[in-house]
Amino acid sequence: MGAHLCPKCGENTIYFDGICHSCSQRQRRNEILNLSADEVEAMILKIAERIDEIEKWDEICNDFWALFSLLDIHDPRIARAAAAKQIYYPPELYFGAPDDVKDALITKLNSLEDNSKNVLNHLLCALAWQGGEQTAELFYELYKNPRPWRKKLYVGTEFYAKIGGWAFDETGERKSLVFDKCLTAVRVKDGKRASQSANLNSNQSADEPVQIGEPTGQECEFCGCEILDMLRLKASDPRLAFLNLKHDAIFRCCPTCVGSVMYFCKCGADGEL
d(CA 272, CA 137): 37
Cα gap 82→113, rounded to integer Å: 22
Bridge partners of 251? 231
Which residue in 115, 107, 125, 126 sits closest to 150, CA to CA?
Answer: 115
Residue 267's nearest CA partner among 238, 242, 231 is: 231
Please compute the mean of the pLDDT values over residues 98-108 and round it to a whole number: 97
Residue type, 171: T
Distances (CA, A) of 88 to 73, 83, 108: 18, 7, 11
**Model confidence at 154: pLDDT above 90:** no
Of 19-28, 107-116, 134-143, where does mean pLDDT reach its minimum?
A: 107-116
Q: What is the mean pLDDT of the chain?
A: 86
Nearest to 157 by CA among 190, 109, 203: 109
**What is the per-residue pLDDT across 68-81, written as a single tens digit (0 to 9) for each?**
999 999 999 999 99
Q: Among residues of the chain, what percentage have pLDDT more than 90?
A: 56
Q: Which of 32-41, 89-98, 176-185, 216-225 has the lowest mean pLDDT?
A: 176-185
Pairing of strands 185-187, 4-5: unpaired
270 vs 186, higher pLDDT: 186
pLDDT, tens only, 112-153: 888 888 899 999 999 999 999 999 999 999 999 999 999 888
Considering only residues 13 and 1, tell me which one the structure prediction assigns the higher pLDDT. Answer: 13
| DSSP-assigned beta bridge partners for residue 193 | 187, 202
- Dihedral angle at the C-alpha atoms of 170, 172, 178, 181, nearest 10 degrees? -100
pLDDT band at 180 (very low <50, low <70, confident <90, very high): confident
The per-residue pLDDT for 203 is 47
- The pLDDT score that the predictor gives to residue 146 is 93
- Binned at pLDDT 50, 70 and 90, residue 194 comes out as very low
Q: What is the pLDDT of residues 211-264, one digit of tens each?
A: 888 888 989 888 888 888 888 888 898 888 888 888 888 888 888 887 665 444
